[in-house]
Amino acid sequence: MALPLSDIRVIAIEQYGAGPWGTLQLADLGAEVIKIEDPSVGGDVGRYVPPYAEGEDSLFFETFNRNKKSISLDLRTPGGREVLEDLVRGADAVYSNLRGDQPKRLRITYEDLANVNPRIVCCSLSGFGMTGPRAGEAGYDYIMQGMAGWMSLTGDPGGPPTKSGLSLVDLSGGYVSAIALLAGLWRARRDGVGCDCDISLYETALHQLMYVGTWTATAGFVPRRMPESAHPSIVPFQAFATADGYITVACAKQKFWERFAVTIGHPELLDDDRFCDFGGRDRNREQLLPILREALASRSSEEWLATFAEASVPCGPVYEVPDALNDRQLVAREDIVEIEHPRLGTVRQLASPLRVNTDSEPWPLTRAPFRGEHTDEILRDLCGYDEARIEELHAGGTLG
């Protein structure tokens, strides 16, 4: 059975995290992703990210670039531009994660490439988008978490502004750009005309303020950091210290609160007018939470998790990462995949969560490519170049 995106070809001018994460989603679904790497800088900088890096290979790079192909190509040379346009003729999309002013400068917008392929979709993922006063500024996940207000919401009250432990803006930007690219491809196949997709990390981060953004923009809500990673308005919906660690409890429905109160041995809380509904528990959280904390601290995490599970109260352990990778659910669904690498050995990665296959057989996975590994193959098979033309490009420095 063909993979869902096996009839899509994407030319990716990308590096590091957010962009490669976006095209990874497409590659895992079967798209042919041809990664253009600049030979003058040693290709994608992700190849050299420590601590697990050796030569031009790293576990960081493997994480973002499995199932892709690599062509070494200097786009700044006349020959490089010619090769790019020949690639575009046989492609469905051109994807980039450069500064917002770079797609126009490199002539990789739809306006620049429509004469080559009128159905081409040109997707740009940048820090701030291709227009506006910040279009020429570099943008990274850390910067966006600060500018979008995320860091003001994260961490304990009274502590310093705190970044999420993961690069969530980069990852989200990758997903958003992949969705935008697929939407553009759908329209191109329906209407015969391509387009630009202008996606920014900044707007992705702002959009993910979700209800907090709506509350603030509409009603002047002033967000604040919550102790114990608590929800800003629902109680209890947070982490609790137990006798030997931490667990999370999420009483997002009234019935869960009622079960929770009975399970921790405080059914009398259900008759207290202060705590009878969501609004009351929010307004009176300073009176309620000490009671809940004392109760949860009386037993171990394992005991509480088993007790809450039996009572159908949503809860979960707070794992360290090694524990997270050994949870029985992960094991049962085979969420760790293995790919052999000639230099790095057996690389164990997280499987794609995009489970849209109807076949019981696992989808094939290939290691991330060596820099320029597929250059000659792509020039022959996609661009139709003969060996003399390929040799000429090598000799002229276009291919590094």
Q: Which residues sit opposite 345 in a β-bridge?
A: 341
The residue behind tokens 């009975």 is 262
What is the C-alpha to C-alpha distance for residues 270 and 277, in angstroms, rounded to an integer?
9
What is the C-alpha to C-alpha distance for residues 235 and 11, in angstroms, rounded to an integer?
48
For the chain, residues classed under CATH 3.30.1540.10 are 227-318
- At 366, the amino acid letter reads T
Q: Tell whether the torsion through CA atoms of 228, 233, 237 and 240 is positive or negative.
A: positive
For the chain, residues classed under CATH 3.40.50.10540 are 9-207+334-395
Superfamily holding 9-207+334-395: Crotonobetainyl-coa:carnitine coa-transferase; domain 1 (3.40.50.10540)
Q: Of how many residues is the chain composed?
A: 400
Clarify whether 341 is annotated catalytic: no
Helix or strand (DSSP H, E) at 33: strand 32-37
Per-residue pLDDT at 41:
95
Q: Retrieve residue 255's tokens.
A: 């019935």
Q: Is 278 in contact with 233 (CB distance < 8 Å)? A: yes
* CATH 3.40.640.10 corresponds to the domain 227-318: no
The secondary structure of residue 327, as a DSSP letter, is -
Which of 371, 389, 382 lies closest to 57, judged by CA? 371
Return the axis-axis angle of helices 301-310 and 254-263, rounded to nearest 10°: 130
Which one is catalytic: 207, 231, 266, 374? 231
Per-residue pLDDT at 361:
66
What is the C-alpha to C-alpha distance for residues 328 and 351, in angstroms, rounded to an integer?
15
What is the C-alpha to C-alpha distance for residues 90 and 79, in angstroms, rounded to an integer?
18
- At 75, the amino acid letter reads L
- Helices of type H across the chain: 18-28, 59-65, 78-89, 102-106, 110-113, 141-147, 150-153, 168-191, 201-207, 210-219, 254-263, 278-283, 285-296, 301-310, 321-324, 328-332, 375-381, 387-395
Q: Is 164 in contact with 238 (CB distance < 8 Å)? A: no
Per-residue pLDDT at 356:
87
For β-strands 32-37 and 68-72, DSSP reports them as parallel
Q: How many CB atoms lie within 10 A of CB 166?
A: 9
Question: Which residues of the chain are modeled with pLDDT < 50?
Answer: none
Per-residue pLDDT at 358:
60
3-state secondary structure of 227: helix
Q: Tell whether the torsion through CA atoms of 51, 55, 59 and 65 is positive or negative.
A: positive
Per-residue pLDDT at 1:
72
